[in-house]
Amino acid sequence: MATISETTQSQTFPCGAHAHYGNTEHIEKCKACKVVLGMSKQHKGFTQKEVAQIFQQLDRYEAESGTGNFYTYGNGVLMHYRTIEAIKTHKGKIISNLDCYGGGFAYCTTPTKTDAHINLTLMLNAVLRKELLDIEILDIDKDAILFKIGSRHFLNASDSQRFVVELAKPCESIKEAYTSMKPTLAKDATQRGLNVKRQGDLFFIPTTLSDKDVSDIEKTKYEQHTLEFPEIQFSINEPTNHHATRTAKYRQHVLVKGTVRHRQHRLLKLGNAWHIVVRNNVKNAWSNIGRD
Task: Please report the pLDDT score of residue 8 as a whole number.
Answer: 45
Neighbours of 256 (CB within 10 A): 24
> What 8-state DSSP symbol labels residue 16?
S
Q: Are 117 and 137 in contact (CB under 8 A)?
A: no
Out of 136, 163, 179, pick the residue that ends a domain.
179
Q: Evaluate if residue 225 carries a pLDDT over 80.
A: no
Is 241 part of a structural domain of the chain? yes
Give residue-wise pLDDT tens across range 228-252: 678 888 875 677 889 999 999 999 8
Task: Please report the pLDDT score of residue 264 as a whole number.
Answer: 82
234/275 same-domain check: yes
Is 29 part of a structural domain of the chain? no
**Residue 289 binned pLDDT confidence (cut-offs 50, 70, 90):** low
Task: Give every CB contact of residue 11 below 8 A, 6+ residues apart in sequence.
Answer: 18, 19
108/197 same-domain check: no
Is 111 part of a structural domain of the chain? yes
**Residue 102 binned pLDDT confidence (cut-offs 50, 70, 90):** low
Q: Are 291 and 125 in contact (CB under 8 A)?
A: yes
76/117 same-domain check: yes
275/175 same-domain check: no
Give residue-wise pLDDT tens across range 36-69: 999 999 999 999 999 999 999 999 999 999 999 9
Task: Give every CB contact of residue 85 below 8 A, 6+ residues apart in sequence.
Answer: 52, 70, 78, 79, 96, 97, 100, 108, 109, 110
Out of 147, 179, 211, pick the residue that ends a domain.
179
Is 25 part of a structural domain of the chain? no
* CA pair distance 200, 280, nearest whole angstrom: 9
**Residue 210 binned pLDDT confidence (cut-offs 50, 70, 90):** very high
Out of 179, 209, 233, pick the residue that ends a domain.
179
174/187 same-domain check: no
Which of 41-55, 113-127, 186-200, 238-252 has the lowest average pLDDT? Answer: 238-252
75/99 same-domain check: yes
Task: Please report the pLDDT score of residue 265 as a whole number.
Answer: 87
Comparison of pLDDT for 136 and 22, the residue scoring more = 136
Domain that holds residue 197: 182-281
158/226 same-domain check: no
Q: What is the pTM (predicted TM-score) of this model?
A: 0.84
**Residue 291 binned pLDDT confidence (cut-offs 50, 70, 90):** very low
Mean pLDDT of all residues in the chain?
88
Residue 158 carries which side chain, given as an amino acid letter? Answer: S
**Residue 106 binned pLDDT confidence (cut-offs 50, 70, 90):** low
42 φ/ψ sector (left φ>0, alpha ψ -120 to 50, else beta): beta
